[in-house]
């Protein structure tokens, strides 16, 4: 094994994996398939790896990331925007697969992003179901928008397609809940989450898949991770408006409707929302604050393995 500590960047595409090892500058490529991933793992086993960084590419990175992690290597899957911003900050404007792999290796060494356990095979299946559900909901919305502009014979065709998509959505929801019930840990956690007034199957499923850190981080970190922590925008004497930014958009989207329900029927969030509005906060700002509070409450419940309790929630 090479003793020099190495940082590895892997650019993932549908066909190939482009690899750059730093500081040696060694570059090579493997196909992004079962045999290619096995060859990748074998080629890196002789290297003393400090960290491997891949970009999240819609799931195409998962087979390689899981295989490397199972081989005992430190793997971090990062947001593509982080890597691109890092490239710009280092003056690298050009973009090719080879350059991107080098940037990721440099990012690994300079930033040393946190490595987290990767999803198990069951978690990946649940993730695919949740992702497909989001896709079908988006398709239904798109078809409804098209329907509003139709007045001819195609109107009936779109209506039939919407009904078919709704059937698919119902089947997916049933499969999602069946998958959760078959896994004791998920089943117990889903029951705990759904004990909160306003939280249902959709939000609990998204949290299980897209926020495995729930219950493992403090309230500030979990809010930042989801993108619900207001960030400063100050410079010199200028004091900008605090705004939320970045984070896991799918979790924020899933929190929106349950929060709307909660500010009407959940006594803790209803009182919190009304107090903010009474203080002159815009309703949109108050709703975002309620989304953040709901997330923090859920985080505390999972951390303490505690069912919904209004007294605990008020102090969260």
- From 9-13, 131-135, 227-231, 272-276, the region with the lowest mean pLDDT: 227-231
CA distance 255 to 223: 12
CA distance 143 to 155: 10
The set of residues, in sequence order, having a beta carbon less than 8 Å from that of 118 and lying 6+ positions away, is 62, 65, 66, 69, 75, 77
CA distance 86 to 80: 10
Task: Sheet containing 75-78: give its strands across.
Answer: 26-31, 16-22, 2-12, 47-55, 75-78
pLDDT of residue 235: 46
Q: How many helices (H) and strands (E) does the chain have?
A: 13, 7
pLDDT of residue 1: 46
Q: Which residue would you say has higher pLDDT here, 81 or 312?
A: 81
Residue 231 carries which DSSP code?
B
Task: Give the pLDDT mean for 213-240.
Answer: 74
Q: How confident is the model at residue 240 (pLDDT cuts 50, 70, 90)?
A: very low
C-alpha distances in Å from residue 138, one per residue of 126, 132, 142, 155: 19, 10, 6, 19
pLDDT of residue 186: 86
Residue pair 48/3 in contact (Cβ under 8 Å)? The answer is yes
Q: How confident is the model at residue 15 (pLDDT cuts 50, 70, 90)?
A: very high
CA distance 74 to 53: 9
pLDDT at 312 over 50: yes
Bridge partner list, 53 = 9, 76
Q: How confident is the model at residue 246 (pLDDT cuts 50, 70, 90)?
A: low
CA distance 101 to 53: 9
pLDDT of residue 281: 93
pLDDT at 34 over 90: yes
How is residue 176 written in tokens? Answer: 């999602």
pLDDT of residue 119: 65
CA distance 190 to 232: 34
CA distance 131 to 284: 27
Residue pair 277/285 in contact (Cβ under 8 Å)? The answer is no
When the pLDDT of each residue in the chain is averaged and rounded to a whole number, the result is 88
**Buried/exposed 196-211: b ≥16 CB within 10 Å, e otherwise:** bbbbeebbbbbbbbbb
108-127 pLDDT per residue, tens: 999 999 887 666 667 778 88
pLDDT of residue 238: 43
pLDDT of residue 145: 94
Task: Give the pLDDT mean for 207-232.
Answer: 86
Task: Give the pLDDT mean for 50-63.
Answer: 89
CA distance 271 to 186: 31
Residue pair 147/107 in contact (Cβ under 8 Å)? The answer is no
Task: Give the pLDDT mean for 72-84.
Answer: 90
CA distance 263 to 260: 6
286-295 pLDDT per residue, tens: 999 999 999 9
pLDDT of residue 132: 93
23: cis peptide before it, omega within 30°?
Answer: yes
């Amino acid at each position: 094994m090479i003793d020099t500590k190495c940082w590895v960047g892997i650019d993932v595409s549908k066909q190939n994996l482009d690899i750059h090892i730093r500081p040696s500058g060694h570059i090579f490529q493997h196909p992004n398939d079962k045999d290619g991933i096995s060859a990748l793992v074998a080629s890196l086993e002789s290297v003393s790896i400090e960290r491997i960084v891949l970009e999240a590419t819609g799931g195409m990175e998962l087979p390689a990331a899981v295989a490397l992690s199972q081989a005992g290597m430190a793997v971090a899957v990062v947001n593509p925007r982080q890597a691109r911003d890092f490239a710009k900050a280092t003056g690298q404007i050009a973009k090719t697969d080879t350059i991107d792999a080098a940037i990721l290796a440099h990012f690994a060494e300079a930033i040393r992003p946190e490595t987290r356990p990767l999803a198990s095979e069951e978690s990946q299946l649940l993730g695919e179901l949740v992702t497909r559900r989001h896709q079908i909901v988006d398709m239904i919305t798109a078809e409804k928008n098209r329907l509003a502009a139709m007045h001819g014979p195609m109107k009936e065709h779109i209506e039939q397609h919407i009904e078919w998509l709704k059937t698919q959505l119902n089947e997916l929801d049933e499969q999602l809940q069946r998958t959760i019930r078959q896994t004791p840990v998920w089943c117990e956690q889903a029951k705990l989450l759904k004990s909160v007034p306003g939280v249902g199957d959709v939000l609990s499923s998204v949290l299980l898949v897209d926020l495995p850190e729930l219950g493992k981080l403090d309230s500030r970190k979990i809010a930042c991770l989801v993108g619900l922590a207001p960030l400063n925008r100050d410079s010199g004497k200028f004091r900008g408006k605090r705004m939320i930014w970045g984070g896991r958009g799918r979790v924020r989207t899933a929190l929106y409707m349950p929060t709307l329900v909660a500010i009407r029927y959940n006594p803790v969030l209803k009182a919190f929302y009304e107090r903010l509005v009474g203080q002159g906060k815009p309703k949109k700002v108050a709703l975002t604050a309620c989304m953040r509070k709901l997330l923090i409450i859920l985080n505390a419940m999972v951390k303490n393995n505690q069912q919904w309790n209004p007294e605990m929630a008020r102090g969260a």
